[in-house]
Structures are given as C-alpha cells and as structure tokens.
Amino acid sequence: MMSPNPNDWKTSLFPSDFIIPLEKYCEEKYYGHTSCPAWKAWTSNVWTFRQPFDVELQFESSTNRLYSNLEQDLFNNYIYTNNDWLDGPLPVVQLCWSILFWTDEKNVWIEQIPDPNLSRVGLELISASFPISVWTRPVVTAFKILDLDKKIILERGTPLCNIRFYSDKNNDKFILEQKDPPQKVIDNLSKDSEVKRWQKNYSWSLINKRLDKQSKCPFSRWWK
C-alpha cells in the first residue's frame, strides 16, 4: 500500500487504479549483459518504484530556496527537507510518497538501489537497506539534487528507485502482493516510528537486538 504521508496508512490519497504498481526491473534486451546468469540472479528480486504524478523542482543556489510547480499545501505534504539539507555541497530532499512492505518470514531485507535513468533528470538516490522482518517502516525516496539552478522534471512513471529483496537463502524468490496493511502492522509502524522521534539514531541498536533474537534457534539448548 502506498501513501503520501509515511505515517498515515489508514487512508489513501488516490484511487488504487491511479497508483503505478511496482514492476520487475528490466533493461532493453539488446544489451548483452541482460543474458548473463550473474546479472539475472542479481536482478531476479528487483522491482522499480515510479513517480506517481508529474512534478517539477528547481533549486536556486543564489537564495538556497527550492521551488516547485506544486501548490504550497501540496509542496508541504510531498517535499521534505531535514534541518541539515543544505550542510553538504549538494542539497538533499525527500519525496514523501512512500510504500510499506511487511512479511512474516525471517531475515528478509530490503535495499533501495539507484535507477540509472534517475541521474539523467538531475537527481541521485540516497540508498538504504534494512530488515523488514524485524523493523516496520515505509520506504521513502531521498535524493541529492545534482542539477542546480535548473528545472528538474519528474513525469509520471519516472523511476525513483529500484527495490531489491534478499535473505540468507541465496535461492529465495520473492513475490509481491498489494494489500492494505493489517492492524498489527500499522501498530508496529507507529511504535517503530516513535522510537526515531524520541531517541534519534537508536533504531539500529533495536534492529540488531531483534535480529539476534530472531536468529536464535529455539531448540539450540538440546545441542549443548
């Protein structure tokens, strides 16, 4: 399920038939590497996440201001900047169109991978990875703006990132289903999100503890 607000999963802004479903990653078949078994193995569990509507952005370096064709209230809801978004040589912004994944399987990780087409429109994805088997949070897309003082156009359907799933089993094949999240997942999302608000940078410590707990065999005491 997708939402413009990473913390609001009880309602959906758009009808389901407007949302662009994730598609398996592919490249034009005339590239020789697309027939390579190693390339096929790496991309077998990769899906593409796309921009749902047309939007324009432009960062003005003379004023350090970000402009958009969106109305102000839509801009405030869709485009997010941290307090440190101007600390580096390139501004960093987040697009608050998110997608939530959950699973009952153990040791399943999700990874955000840059799509090569995105740099051609002037953005660079900030990659991330975390285990969805023990941590409930939406996937959002954050970028460095590469083209300053130039209009960046994201048309509906533009790839924002590629999403890859993996586990400790090399031969796992993942299947995605689009569903509304159950109440248990919504509750976990709310609780895990609160940790980041109250104790910054503590999330990964909890994730490691949960992974350790999940990996312990319940019958290990019989083998001592």
Q: Is 195 helix (H, G, I), strand (E, B) or coil?
A: helix
Q: Which two tokens stand for residue 128?
A: 């991330």
Q: Is 214 helix (H, G, I), strand (E, B) or coil?
A: helix
Q: Which residue has the higher pLDDT, 12 or 13?
A: 13
CA-to-CA separations, 10 to 60, 95, 108, in angstroms, rounded: 36, 20, 25
Q: Is 79 helix (H, G, I), strand (E, B) or coil?
A: strand
pLDDT band at 8 (very low <50, low <70, confident <90, very high): low
Is residue 57 within 8 Å of 74, Cβ to Cβ? no
Cα–chain-centroid distance for residue 59? 23
> From the CB of residue 74, how many other CB atoms can be counted at a distance below 10 Å?
14
List, for residues 154-192, the tens digit of each pLDDT value.
999 999 999 999 998 767 889 999 888 899 999 999 999
> From the CB of residue 51, how many other CB atoms can be counted at a distance below 10 Å?
19
Could you state, in order of their start, the residue ranges of all structural domains in the chain?
Answer: 2-223
List, for residues 92-110, the tens digit of each pLDDT value.
999 988 889 999 999 999 9
Question: Does pLDDT of 33 surpass 60?
Answer: yes
Find all residues with CB under 8 Å of 140, minimum gap 6, and list them: 6, 94, 95, 96, 97, 98
Question: Helices (H), strands (E): how many in the chain?
Answer: 4, 13
**Alpha helices, DSSP H only, in 56-158?**
72-78
211-216: average pLDDT: 82
- Rounded to two decimals, what is the model's pTM? 0.85
The pLDDT mean for the chain works out to 87
Question: Does pLDDT of 149 surpass 60?
Answer: yes
What b/e string do you get for 1-35 counting C-beta neighbours within 10 Å, with b at 16 or more?
A: bbbbebeebeeeeeeeeebeebeebeeeeeeeeee
pLDDT band at 40 (very low <50, low <70, confident <90, very high): confident
37-46: average pLDDT: 89
| Whole-number pLDDT of residue 222 | 36
105-134: average pLDDT: 94
37-65: average pLDDT: 93
